[in-house]
């Protein structure tokens, strides 16, 4: 019996040493999740094996619509930047349906996204998305449009008030006096109200002075160009075609306005504003039927959103340059600066930055 023990003693000692060594080396694996408690909430449900940086981050991108060219660009730029940063981006579009967007956001949450980026169709309705995401420990970034009455974590957009000011200022320079028509965006879109605020910052003093008369002012349900067309036709009829300027809040509504003007042989005779620098709008600008569009570098905004999404998912600090009150809290905000693109500045803005090719913008200009 003693000989047998001596024969197996070295093996027993080796096994005991291995067990102690293993216990010592695995004792610290729970210390990889540094940062604030809030940051940990977004990743704890995803760290079964080794912490935040040991797995590919999933970004959920819940979009209102992909019907317009600009939103397709947002999607493509954001997906490309996310993938370049090593993340996976899951995209869903709700076709301007509140219930569908909420259901899609729930689906993204169920797929295990680490963070959610939302372009809300309805600023108030999207608060439900924030609540559901937070219940799952997932932070939410409002993209381009603020989510109101919620604890949304971050807002990334352009300075919407400045956009409205650029629109009105450029139109006023062309038509300093006369009858104005305002074709707004969707009443449910918080950004549309900010655009309107900027427009009125420029227009109201001139209205008070008596130089400008606002003879028609309507929102455009769901940003639908067909609604904008009907509104502009009504404005022309109500004023016997005696209109001096139109502030259309984006390029989709501007295109509808110009369609209505063309039917009355007024296209190119009345200045019309826009927003988004869509190719068709840029073509109208250099052709002379649309006075201007506001160029916001969608690439910059999409890439910024992807970058901060990855940082937030990892619990890293994000620098902001503003706050926006959404009716409940002051939301930490990153605002980018827009520029006005006119016939005179098109080459130096939209084309110089590679947003559109010059031959495409000028293809109808002889």
pLDDT tens-place string over residues 126-150: 999 999 999 999 999 999 999 999 9
142 and 175 together in one domain: no
Residue 366 lies in a domain: no
DSSP-derived pairing of the beta strands 330-336 and 322-325? antiparallel
Spacing of C-alpha 288 from chain mean position = 29
122 and 214 together in one domain: no
Handedness of CA 232, 237, 241, 243 (dihedral sign): negative
* Helix H or strand E encompassing 264: none
200 and 284 together in one domain: yes
209 and 243 together in one domain: yes
Handedness of CA 276, 280, 286, 290 (dihedral sign): negative
Distance CA 54, CA 99 (A): 35
DSSP-derived pairing of the beta strands 339-342 and 292-295? antiparallel
Structural domain for 247, as ranges: 160-296+340-361
**What pLDDT is attached to residue 55?**
79
89 and 223 together in one domain: no
- Provide the number of structural domains found in the chain: 2
Buried b (16+ CB within 10 A) or exposed e, 56-75: ebbbbbbbbbbebbbbebbb
241 and 267 together in one domain: yes
224 and 321 together in one domain: no
- Residue 350 belongs to domain with CATH number: 3.40.50.2300
Distance CA 305, CA 274 (A): 24
- Side-chain-facing half-sphere of 126: CA atoms under 13 Å: 29
Residue 126 lies in a domain: yes
211 and 100 together in one domain: no
* Helix H or strand E encompassing 38: helix 37-41
Q: Whole-model pTM?
A: 0.76
| Confidence band of 15 (pLDDT split at 50, 70, 90) | very low
68 and 102 together in one domain: yes
What residues are paired with 162 via a beta bridge? none
pLDDT tens for 154-199 read: 999 999 999 999 999 999 999 999 999 999 999 999 999 999 999 9
Phi-psi region of 95 (alpha: psi -120 to 50; beta: other; left: phi over 0): left
Least confident of 31-45, 82-96, 153-167, 234-248: 31-45
């Amino acid at each position: 019996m003693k000989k047998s023990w001596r024969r197996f003693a070295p093996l027993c000692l080796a096994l005991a040493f291995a067990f102690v060594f293993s216990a010592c080396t695995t004792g610290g694996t729970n210390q990889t999740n540094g940062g604030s408690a809030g940051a940990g909430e977004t990743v704890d449900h995803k760290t079964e094996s080794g912490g935040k940086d040991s797995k590919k981050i999933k970004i959920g991108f819940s979009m209102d619509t992909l019907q317009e060219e600009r939103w397709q660009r947002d999607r493509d730029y954001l997906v490309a930047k996310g993938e370049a940063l090593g993340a996976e981006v899951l995209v869903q579009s709700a076709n301007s349906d509140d219930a569908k967007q909420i259901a899609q956001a729930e689906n993204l949450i169920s797929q295990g996204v680490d963070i959610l980026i939302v372009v809300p169709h309805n600023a108030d309705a999207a608060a439900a998305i924030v609540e559901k995401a937070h219940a799952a420990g997932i932070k939410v970034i409002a993209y381009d449009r603020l989510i109101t009455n919620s604890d949304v974590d971050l807002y990334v957009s352009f300075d919407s008030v400045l956009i409205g000011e650029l629109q009105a200022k450029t139109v006023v320079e062309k038509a300093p006096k006369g009858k104005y028509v305002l074709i707004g965006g969707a009443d449910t879109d918080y950004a549309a109200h900010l655009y309107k605020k900027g427009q009125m910052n420029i227009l109201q003093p001139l209205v008070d002075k008596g130089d400008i008369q606002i003879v028609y002012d309507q929102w455009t349900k769901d940003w639908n160009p067909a609604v904008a067309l009907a509104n502009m036709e009504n404005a022309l009829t109500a004023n016997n075609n005696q209109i001096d300027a139109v502030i259309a809040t984006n390029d989709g509504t501007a295109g509808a306005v110009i369609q209505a003007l063309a039917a009355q042989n007024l296209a190119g005779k009345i200045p019309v504003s826009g927003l988004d620098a869509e190719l068709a709008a840029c073509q109208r600008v250099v052709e002379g039927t649309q006075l201007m569009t506001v160029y916001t570098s969608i690439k910059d905004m999409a890439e910024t959103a992807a970058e901060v999404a990855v940082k937030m998912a990892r619990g890293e600090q994000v620098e902001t340059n503003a706050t926006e009150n959404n009716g409940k809290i002051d939301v930490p905000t990153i605002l980018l600066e827009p520029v006005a693109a006119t016939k005179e500045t098109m080459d130096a803005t939209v084309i110089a930055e590679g947003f559109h090719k010059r031959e495409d913008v000028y293809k109808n200009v002889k």
